Structure 1
Amino acid sequence: MATTPRTPSPAPSSTHSTPSATMKKEADEAQATVAVGLDDAVFGQITADGPNYRGVSGLGAFVLMFKSNIGLGILSLPFVFQTLGLVPGVLVLLVVQTIVCYCARSIGTFKRNHPSTYGLPDAGRVFGARWVHEYLYLFFLVDMVTTVSSAVVSLSAALNGVSAHAACTAVFIAIASVVGFGLGSIRTLEKITALSWLGVVSLLASVITLTVAVGVSGPAAAPVDWHKEVRAFGNPSFAKAMSAVNSVLFSYSATPCYFNIVSEMADPREYEKYLYLSTSLLTVLYLIIGILVYCFCGQYVATPALASAGPLMSKVCFGIAIPALVASLVIYAHMSGKPLFVRILAGSRHLTSNTLTHWATWLGCMAATSAVAYVIASAIPNFGNIISLLGSLISPNDCIIPYTFMWWHDNWRYKSGEERGSTRLRLTLALNVALFFVALFMTVAGTYGAVKDLIDSSSSAGPWSCADNTGSA
């Protein structure tokens, strides 16, 4: 069922002379309605009788962006530094975060220019056509559902670790899926921010504990008389290097969620400020934790890095990290069901009213996406390799490519020849074209590396296995 925006972006005039003025007027009108708080271009009439879909504060947006990125993905970064070497690893991380932040920045401007866009697929309808909308919707949905599946597996592994495998892993996966459905069914992102703050504190405590543990005792896998090897420059194969680069991209891959976050902000004009704050703190944390853990563990760093601390400390770290894992699961479970819910009820009073249709549709969307995520998490033995493959295919398409078209649509597409003569505009166009081809290269090369890893790997576990999955969490 296609989205029917309440306030569709106007078609450009035949002379192509008015889109900028029209978009500015549309953005000003959207800001006026935000101030009143009565009508929204996506959700329609917002009253006290229904959920407040425009209640996310600036700090709330910051913690949602920060937590949607930072998860156990941070624990792959020490291994990235071991693979690439410290110097290339740091450079790759800085380059990737700059590219992703630049692309994510365009979300705020595009949302203000086109208030009726709720998510990345809706942006595709504006700059492309219906098939672009459906293409991006498919990528977004697969991205969100597989991320939920990954979060389910991570939470089940943590439960396995702290309980010393007290129950069948299939049981823990089912428990994690129920938790994701239950808490993810909270209807507004504003209400999820408190859990996000708890998750950030929990994860920071976990990785700091890990860092101290390996700093004091060294890596668990190292022999008694080990000699540390910390390399400034690595010598990986092309496939392993691209796999490492895509691991870094995956650590910043929450960008498509930002559209949903800015759509629920009380004041979308604050988006860029908190985006920069989130990205800056995220990068500083990634560098500190990644470099310290790699320098402490050397060639014996494990992936994920929790395994570097040994069985006892890994159990402690997993226990501390459980709230963080729950928070990640809840955010992505919510993000998986919400766009489907908005798409089905777009233009209907049921979208913002506490009606039976509203609740049935909302819980039905959450149940459907949670069930698919549960099946994926339970049925695929080589799940980590599958996620790596999907990340290579999806992350560049969700985090880089669409935003180059968004810039082109708002800043170049309807400009006259005279307006296109600006040196700055031409350089920015060249930058966006370059980013488009960089993303294509990362997709092809990353997929090659992921497929090679998938072929080379094996798993003794089968679908709905009871085997302990702690080592692959």
Structure 2
Amino acid sequence: MAYLQEKSNDKLDIERDSSRNGSEKPPVVADVFEESPDNDFHYKTLSWQFVALLMIAEIVSNGMLSLPSSLAVVGIVPALILIIFLGVFGLFTAKLLVDFKLNHPNVHNMGDAGYILGGPVVREILGLGTIIFAICGTGSEILSGQQALSVLSNNGLCAMYLVLIFSAAVLVVALPRTLDRLSNLGLVSACFITLAGLLAMIAAGRNPVPGRVISATIQSNFFTAFLAITNPVFSYAGHFMFFILISEMRRPQDAMKAAWCLQGFATVFYCIFAIVIYVYVGNTVASPAFLSLPPVWAKITFGVALGNFLIAGGLYSHTAAKLVFVRFFRGTRHMYKHTVVGWSVWVVLCFLAVAIAFVMAIAVPVFSYLIGISAALFASWYTYGLAGFFWLHDAYHLEGGFPAWRRMKFQTTLAVLTIVAGAFICVAGTYVSIKLISDAYRDGLVGKPFTC
């Protein structure tokens, strides 16, 4: 294992050492995946269209369902401005991530990128953060699946058993070794969540809430307002997967097409869904929004969305397992051949990712709040703040050092502001999440572990 780690480190060391002189461009480094006709596994197979579908399947999932409740807290106008701004901002940071990946083809995940930025300590922090966030994402989808199954069964089975059943299904989805095996499921998943949203809007329109209150703007204190803001902020929290997805593209140069597709679809769909549900339900709209629909429609929408929750959960756990697997076996035959060691480690990693998410979902009463903390700590940086560091690093090392920053003042300012925005979201989001946990314990809203 030490040899595998050394080999992985050496590839990154070549790039880091060669880029210390800001006036010289580093030599071209090897791609993270080595393609050969003799390989049993071919990783670089994804088209940009299927990458976009996988992104939509993963991001436009739970995030969509919480947005109408944000309108109920701050009003239609501020919420829509925020959703659109974050969509544009997310597209900008996606561009910075894509450029960084194209400049450093050996980067497979945020941990690899962290090594280039700040050495082994930063790599371990960002790599571990990616795994934690992916496992929390898996847990979030598992809980959504359990909620959907509970609604469909009229709470006919203990929730803990439903979590176990759904977790087993998620594990099966996560097991394929390459993302092209999941790409068709990405199409299915994107269709499921889109159809579920359309059906929910139809249901809300046909069953408007009598006497509902609709507000253009609502005055709120900082805690309440930022709590509402976190919904749209973290509805775009999928950038942590960009490097992994781009690494398996046939043409990484097309990655921005996928980002445009993702951000364009997500922003438009988010706005339409949030407005329609809020207008017909009013300020009493629940989160997730499907719970505000009549019982029959709630079952229909949850039943359709169940497929998305399943596939998104599998994609999250696949991501956590893939990061560790590539870290162990990069450049070895276990990456590319059917070997007992390779398959054994892969299955164990997938099982551990889902198992940890399952245990946290049933054993940690405040797990839903911990998801918010993980999003605040990591998604704020992966989606926004780190993109600024990526641009500053490459501008310095590839464009001529400090003079490049002075020459490109506008881009430098945007990069710095992006870092500041990530830091603010991280600090404020963590504060809000911790306060929510404190309030939940104070009000007796926290349940017990391993209960139905």
Q: CA deviation at 1:12?
A: 3.6
Match of 2:174 among 166, 181, 184: 184
Q: CA deviation at 1:461?
A: 3.2
Partner of 1:175: 165
> Using a 3 Å threshold, how does the CA distance of structure 1 residues 13 and 318 change in structure 2: closer, same or farther?
closer
> Using a 3 Å threshold, how does the CA distance of structure 1 residues 313 and 419 change in structure 2: closer, same or farther?
closer
Match of 1:11 among 14, 17, 24: 17
Q: Is the 8 Å Cα contact of residues 46 and 53 (structure 1) preserved in structure 2?
A: no
RMSD: 1.8
Count residues with an aligned counterpart: 442
Partner of 1:269: 253
Partner of 1:105: 95
What CA distance in whole angstroms lies between the structure 1 residues aligned with 2:106 and 2:401? 26
Match of 1:117 among 100, 107, 112: 107
> Using a 3 Å threshold, how does the CA distance of structure 1 residues 14 and 201 change in structure 2: closer, same or farther?
closer
What CA distance in whole angstroms lies between the structure 2 residues aligned with 1:132 and 1:234? 41
Secondary structure (helix, strand or coil) at the match of 1:399 reads: helix
Q: CA deviation at 1:59?
A: 0.9
Matched, 1:211 2:201: yes
Secondary structure (helix, strand or coil) at the match of 1:166 reads: coil
Partner of 1:459: 445
> Using a 3 Å threshold, how does the CA distance of structure 1 residues 158 and 431 change in structure 2: closer, same or farther?
same
What CA distance in whole angstroms lies between the structure 2 residues aligned with 1:146 and 1:53? 25
Q: CA deviation at 1:416?
A: 4.3
Partner of 1:233: 217
Q: CA deviation at 1:339?
A: 0.4
Q: CA deviation at 1:99?
A: 2.0
Match of 1:202 among 192, 201, 222: 192
Q: CA deviation at 1:419?
A: 4.0
Q: TM-score of the superposition, structure 1-length normalised?
A: 0.89
Q: CA deviation at 1:292?
A: 0.8
- Unaligned 5+ segments in structure 2 are none
Partner of 1:471: none
Deviations 1:209-239 (A, max 9, x none): 11111111124xxxxxx42321111112211
Deviations 1:433-466 (A, max 9, x none): 1111121111111222222222222436321222
What CA distance in whole angstroms lies between the structure 2 residues aligned with 1:13 and 1:132? 17
What CA distance in whole angstroms lies between the structure 1 residues aligned with 2:403 and 2:162? 63
What CA distance in whole angstroms lies between the structure 1 residues aligned with 2:382 and 2:406? 30
Q: TM-score of the superposition, structure 2-length normalised?
A: 0.93
% same residue: 25
Bigger shift: 129-138 or 377-386?
Answer: 377-386
Q: CA deviation at 1:153?
A: 0.9
Deviations 1:346-387 (A, max 9, x none): 221211111111101111211221211111111122332222
Which amino acid counterpart does residue 447 of structure 2 have in structure 1? Answer: A
Q: CA deviation at 1:107?
A: 2.1
Q: Is the 8 Å Cα contact of residues 65 and 278 (structure 1) preserved in structure 2?
A: yes
Matched, 1:370 2:360: no
Which amino acid counterpart does residue 462 of structure 1 have in structure 2? Answer: K
Match of 2:433 among 441, 450, 455: 450
Which amino acid counterpart does residue 245 of structure 2 have in structure 1? Answer: I
